[in-house]
Amino acid sequence: MTPPPAPRRRRPAPRSPKRPPPSTGRSYKESARAAYRQEYELGFDDAAQTCLRVLSEASDELLAKMKTGNLSKQEQALYARLEELREEMGDRLQSAWGTEPAGEALPQPSVSRRQQTRLP
């Protein structure tokens, strides 16, 4: 007696070319999240450095004036306050850095591509 023939495997239905397979969709999301996270980090770092630089430049001017001995009582108080603000700003920026943008929430475009106008 011969063994029965092996059952034929059914071919899966072809996927629509408009939709990527689910695994590809996940990798697109992961890539988008990684790119968003990188842009977030770069933007945050740039903004933080700008804030601290503004305070540093202001206090450095007063420090230079202090070294010559020409700093009034009002300027001394201003210098002390700028140093306090610089320290507080650094602490708050460090604290904010620990919090991340929402993991699942990627920024949504405010205007669809069709609605965007191109510059001449």
SS3 of 20-87: CCHHHHHHHHHHHHHHHHHHHHHHHHHHHHHHHHHHHHHHHHHHHHHHCCCCCHHHHHHHHHHHHHHH
Q: Average pLDDT for residues 3-8, to the nearest whole number?
A: 63
Residues in the chain: 120
58-68 pLDDT tens trace: 999 999 988 98
Q: Where are the domains of the chain?
A: 24-97
| Mean pLDDT, rounded, of the chain | 76
Q: What is the pLDDT of residues 96-114, one digit of tens each?
A: 877 765 555 545 555 554 5
Alpha carbons 78 and 71: distance in angstroms, whole number = 10
